[in-house]
Structure 1
């Protein structure tokens, strides 16, 4: 049996001509616990490195000068003795996927990518590689999968759960077991026949896989019951309730089976480790008990094994209902955080940040309500309100003593790729009679991943409108230079996780400097977010970062307080003076 230690000790080779990407990928792997990572920016060295070290996995870029990834794979085939090319392609060219897989790659990921997804694919590829090397017995693997859905069966589910529990104990993660039963499946099977019933179960399996993260597991336990394993590092067991609601909403959408549309609901039972038990078999038993309670409560719902967690789940549902009314009741407000030029200490603009003033409870932390907005889709109307409000504030400041002020608004991927997004912005600009260049739109690398061609069109429409565009949280999606050059992006914001450790971790410092230099070579502006100390500011100034924002200069403030702060800075010494 291949264990976690075996996987983390596996030999990994990173091949990319960009030194920035190599640094980011190596850091990602080291932080994840991988201990044997080799890197090279020279594709011509890969064949000899593999012959000498027999790496268990090669992370390979495709477009490299001198020798591309396809040529690298061809060279590897000449020295591969086991008939298995352990290559995971990471590239900014999604159109090369089929060709790469035909050339021998075992998996393919498009840049920029989600860190969790890539780490999961790496883990899975290493597990398969080591299992094959250990046993060379494909039949043994097939016996652990359900023949109808292709998902793990109950036997493998129990093994995967045990492994997840072992890993979570070391990393202090929460593991949730969800048992999902298709309500009244027997009626569908009897009315439409077993072939339609089987097809329905396959589609249900597909929907379940789409409801969980890339590091989680979906399995078919038996009959019309499925099992999910959801691991979270945030420490909140209610995450399982969020997944349960996502499953319920997903299965309510009609499923097309045999030329007919079938609508189903699901009952879900949840057990959580370590709160309920650290043992796999016990958790499965408890999840089954909770499932029967959900069915007994009328179906199309979920129940936790723990009574206390059931009460908290009801609180979450109440939070969702309150958020649905928050816009109409004018409970949302915007706070603004200054952005400063590092060389002069002058204001360069502000970022608008959403806050919820909940009656009787005061300001609710964004981390508490924004995930709920995302999950329910409310982020789209709320995001539209944010843009409208920010544009109105720009107009008010322009006609007051504050004068013209650039305001940045962070946009979710759901809002960014929605039809009507650019017309909404254009309408808000016209309505408030503001200059388009006064508005900055910040999007994450993952928003670009959601649909490259569609994202490209939206970005070009924004640029034509005159709105400036920035990539927020840069460094977490591992974008390539080629990918960034495709889009009309003017600014990179270095993620706070890098700035936090920039003066204490040499690897993080090297990555930060590389990002700054890369941006300057592309004629992009660089903003560091989350600056809290003078040493951090000194480091950024020394390496020619353009702008910063963070508590070192000011916390986010209501509009009136920010205007007062602006006047004070104008009248006296700037809050963030150049060093």
Structure 2
């Protein structure tokens, strides 16, 4: 009987094993099919958008990665990113066929201004990537300005029809601004958005101001040891409901407790971390730290509250960010609904597919999403709604702007927030006059020096305990507080101005 039972068990295991193997093979075949399909679609797309004498995106990637492999850290090259300003308007006005003719004309002009050993590739749509070997800094800047000058020249279409075009141009250098194709492209995107932020029609070297800063090199080499020595810390700035006098939450703000220079604000080191890649470390460290803080403050505060951190565009360009944050959440066994992830320049980055996809993943996990209200228009608000943005932050000066456009935009924000049940937080609230203005506008939540400057966790706990015994008297607090600029400093990287 035992032998028969054993034979039966063996047959069952064999059948189960066979089924599992067949299932695995079927799944791998399906994945292969999807990969081939995607590759075919990409090839078709590249052929349909091909311009003579211009490399495809995949060919340009191969060229760059090949040079990185060949040069190691001993050589250098420059990448130039050319993004035509508002080119989609021309496509809509004249159609795809004429748009391609315009692109061809622009490419011919660009090639005319550059040496023969320089390669140009179409990155996507109206964006081009130019590879410049053996760079000389002044030469590459001259190339960029010449390209910009050529693009600005009027283009004749037909008859008396002429169009004017401008471009936003970014430069980055290998290996200073990135050691991989992905890092270099990210650096270029950041620079491009900075150009766009200032109206386009210009060129910019990625983080050029930091390279020219005497402190840059010194801090660059000190940051790694600072990470090892645990010299970074978080300060917290309270946000309160001006009506109920209850805490809304706390924004986490990074500082560097430098061994010789004292406590440094982020404007001294965040840009360097972005260039070195350490921004990804500080982001995860900051996120894990605020989860621990949330657990500690939950023992002190008797009602729900939020803890907020800021995410930079460079972090949101990291496709693994959501997965990494989810792992840290599970490790600390904390639910995400009271953790707020804030993006300071949503209006600049909300059209970027990678940023959009990352925000969607974070929202699906359950995080609350906050954005800076500056620059939001009807289109941005529509996309904010699609992403499920929970919080919009506005600067106090925004409420004092009496221009028609500013008042109209603010009213649109207020109406949108009321309809969609989105919280609005007013930052940089410094005196009672500001509070009264906020209340008159119908905003409930405030943050600024009138309530508290950013403070460390130990002081924050005492602040909360005192607050619970006797809620803050804003008028009395104004007498004790010297009006000073609001420190809008982050766990990640908006730039703070001192």
Under TM normalisation by the shorter chain, which class is it? 0.5 to 0.7
CA contact 1:513–1:543 (8 Å) conserved in 2: no
Judged with a 3 Å threshold, the aligned counterparts in structure 2 of structure 1 residues 503 and 567 are, in CA distance, closer, same or farther, namely same
Give the SS at the match of 1:343: coil
Structure 1 equivalent of residue 373 of structure 2: 474
Structure 1 equivalent of residue 175 of structure 2: 249
How many Å separate the matches in 2 of 1:547 and 1:574?
A: 14
Give the SS at the match of 1:441: strand
Structure 1 equivalent of residue 116 of structure 2: 198
- Where in structure 2 are the equivalents of 1:6-25 lying within 5 Å? none
So what's the TM-score if we normalise by structure 2?
0.56
CA contact 1:149–1:205 (8 Å) conserved in 2: no
Structure 2 equivalent of residue 359 of structure 1: 259
1:326 to 206, 213, 226: 226
Give the SS at the match of 2:446: strand
Offset, 1:552:
1.5
Structure 2 equivalent of residue 563 of structure 1: 461
Offset, 1:447:
7.8
Structure 1 equivalent of residue 429 of structure 2: 531
Give the SS at the match of 2:111: coil
2:450 to 538, 541, 552: 552
Structure 2 equivalent of residue 540 of structure 1: 438
How many Å separate the matches in 2 of 1:353 and 1:334?
A: 5
Mean Cα displacement is larger for which, 541-550 or 352-361?
541-550
Structure 2 equivalent of residue 149 of structure 1: 111
Judged with a 3 Å threshold, the aligned counterparts in structure 2 of structure 1 residues 465 and 218 are, in CA distance, closer, same or farther, namely same
Structure 2 equivalent of residue 183 of structure 1: none
CA contact 1:407–1:440 (8 Å) conserved in 2: yes
What's the Cα RMSD here? 4.2
Give the SS at the match of 2:173: helix
For structure 2, list consecutive stretches of 5 or more residues without a partner in the other structure: 1-84, 122-127, 150-169, 182-207, 477-498
Structure 1 equivalent of residue 470 of structure 2: 572
For structure 1, list consecutive stretches of 5 or more residues without a partner in the other structure: 1-87, 108-140, 154-196, 212-216, 230-242, 256-302
- Where in structure 2 are the equivalents of 1:499-510 lying within 5 Å? 499-500=396-397, 502-503=399-400, 505-507=402-404, 508-510=406-408
- Where in structure 2 are the equivalents of 1:358-397 lying within 5 Å? 358-397=258-297
How many Å separate the matches in 2 of 1:227 and 1:323?
A: 37
Mean Cα displacement is larger for which, 427-436 or 546-555?
427-436
CA contact 2:245–2:472 (8 Å) conserved in 1: yes
Offset, 1:89:
5.8
Query: What is the aligned length?
Result: 328
Q: Give CA deviations for 1:482-521 in whole Å, capped at 9, x if unaligned.
A: 2222211111111x2xx12533645545543432223223
How many Å separate the matches in 1 of 2:375 and 2:450?
A: 23
Give the SS at the match of 1:410: strand
How many Å separate the matches in 2 of 1:385 and 1:438?
A: 18
How many Å separate the matches in 2 of 1:429 and 1:413?
A: 22
Offset, 1:554:
0.8
Runs of 4+ more than 6 Å apart: 103-107, 225-229, 250-255
Judged with a 3 Å threshold, the aligned counterparts in structure 2 of structure 1 residues 538 and 509 are, in CA distance, closer, same or farther, namely farther
Give the SS at the match of 1:502: helix
Structure 2 equivalent of residue 83 of structure 1: none
How many Å separate the matches in 2 of 1:251 and 1:353?
A: 26
CA contact 2:305–2:338 (8 Å) conserved in 1: yes
CA contact 1:491–1:525 (8 Å) conserved in 2: yes
Judged with a 3 Å threshold, the aligned counterparts in structure 2 of structure 1 residues 252 and 540 are, in CA distance, closer, same or farther, namely closer
How many Å separate the matches in 1 of 2:455 and 2:473?
A: 15
How many Å separate the matches in 1 of 2:178 and 2:275?
A: 16
Judged with a 3 Å threshold, the aligned counterparts in structure 2 of structure 1 residues 361 and 479 are, in CA distance, closer, same or farther, namely farther
CA contact 1:207–1:251 (8 Å) conserved in 2: no
Larger helix share, 1 or 2? 2
Structure 2 equivalent of residue 184 of structure 1: none
CA contact 1:355–1:365 (8 Å) conserved in 2: yes
- Where in structure 2 are the equivalents of 1:301-450 lying within 5 Å? 313-400=213-300, 405-446=305-346, 449=349
CA contact 1:373–1:379 (8 Å) conserved in 2: yes
Judged with a 3 Å threshold, the aligned counterparts in structure 2 of structure 1 residues 565 and 393 are, in CA distance, closer, same or farther, namely same
Mean Cα displacement is larger for which, 445-454 or 331-340?
445-454
User: Does 2:361 correspond to 1:484?
Assistant: no
Structure 2 equivalent of residue 219 of structure 1: 142
How many Å separate the matches in 2 of 1:527 and 1:387?
A: 21
Judged with a 3 Å threshold, the aligned counterparts in structure 2 of structure 1 residues 453 and 343 are, in CA distance, closer, same or farther, namely same
CA contact 1:397–1:404 (8 Å) conserved in 2: no
Offset, 1:546:
2.9
How many Å separate the matches in 1 of 2:98 and 2:416?
A: 29
